[in-house]
Amino acid sequence: LIAFFQPKVLAGRRVLITAGPTSEKIDPVRVITNRSSGKMGYAIAQAAREAGAQVVLVSGPTALDAPYGVNRVNVESAAQMQAAVMAEARQADIFIAVAAVADWHVANASDSKLKKKAGGQPPELQFSANPDILADVAQMTPGPFCVGFAAETENLHENAEAKRQRKGVSLLVGNLAQQAMNADTTELILFDTQGARALPALPKLDAARRLIQEIASQAPLTTA
């Protein structure tokens, strides 16, 4: 019922969201991944939908159900997430990157299962950089209004503001990784051209609703 009474600040707007971790293949039975439950991204997808938006949620592997009325696209690797995002980004008014994207993939991933050999050495993995999905979308002209996330373990303010400028996004949402990881409440700090502002610590869905209000007030009504 509370959902029904949320102000429809995003009525008719198209919102594209990434959430969850990515999963990078080592071999057919092993992966390298990031720690992300997907809860924050899914809460934002729900809040955007409640606010009247058409929502596409590009999600890495999570244990969560898609929020009601949200169109979920399931992906595993960062490369797949990039492709799914690029297929949707041109139609989006707003892009919110919440996913914990792996920064590297295994360049020498194996098509068959790596086997232990008696007395043998562990495998040597080589890594290659993954695309920066948020930075790529932020460079599109015309492109959606872009919002990034940064979970940092220390120096949150310096790291988050530097990241906002490096990625070229209008709004960057920071939080402390130790607090955010798999928790149900979160304390978000907003970084934009006006500076930094903390939102109160709230359950993730309430924090997501506050953030959607903020994004709706900042995003231009038509794409640039």
Annotated binding residues, written as ranges, equal 103, 113, 131-134, 149, 163, 167
Partner that binds at residue 52, options ligand CTP, Ca ion, none, CB closer than 5 to 8 Å by kind: none
Which of the ranges 109-117, 143-151, 180-188, 207-215 carries the binding residues for ligand CTP, by CB under 6 A? 143-151
Binding of ligand CTP by 150 (CB under 6 A): yes
Residue 110 or residue 170: which is nearer to ligand CTP going by CB? 170
| Range in contact with ligand CTP (rule: CB under 6 A) among 59-67, 145-153, 175-183, 210-218 | 145-153
Write the Ramachandran bin of 105: left for phi over 0, alpha for psi from -120 to 50, otherwise beta: beta
Instruction: Give dist(CA 169, CA 133) in Å, integer.
Output: 12
Q: Is residue 78 close enough to count as binding ligand CTP by CB under 6 A?
A: yes
Q: Say if CB 211 and CB 172 are below 8 A apart.
A: no
Q: How far is the CB of 97 from ligand CTP (least distance, A)?
A: 3
Is 177 in contact with 153 (CB distance < 8 Å)?
Answer: yes
Closer CB to ligand CTP, residue 47 or residue 78? 78
Query: With binding defined as CB under 5 A, does residue 35 bind Ca ion?
Result: no
Which of residues 21, 60, 148, 174 is near ligand CTP by CB under 6 A?
148
Task: Rule CB under 6 A: say whether 188 interacts with ligand CTP.
Answer: no
> Do 102 and 21 form a contact (C-beta atoms < 8 A)?
yes
Q: Catalytic site residue 182?
A: no
Judge whether 100 and 20 are in contact, CB under 8 Å: yes
Nearer to Ca ion, 103 or 158 (CB): 103
Question: By CB under 6 A, is residue 31 in contact with ligand CTP?
Answer: no
Region of 6-14, 94-102, 116-124, 183-191 interacting with ligand CTP (CB under 6 A): 94-102
Q: Give the residue from 171, 126, 123 showing the smallest Cα distance to 146.
A: 171
Distance in angstroms (rounded) separating the CA atoms of residues 132 and 128: 12
Classified as helix, coil or strand, 19 is strand
Separation between Cα atoms, residue 183 and residue 37, nearest integer Å: 9
Kindly report the length of the chain.
224
Please give the residues from 79 up to 108 whose contact with Ca ion meets the rule CB under 5 A: 103
Q: What residues does 128 pair with on adjacent strands? A: 105
Strands 23-27 and 30-33, by their bridges, are antiparallel
* Footprint on this chain of Ca ion (rule: CB under 5 A): 103
Residues lying near ligand CTP in the complex (CB under 6 A):
18, 78, 97-99, 101, 103, 130-134, 148-150, 163
Active-site residues: which are they?
A: 34
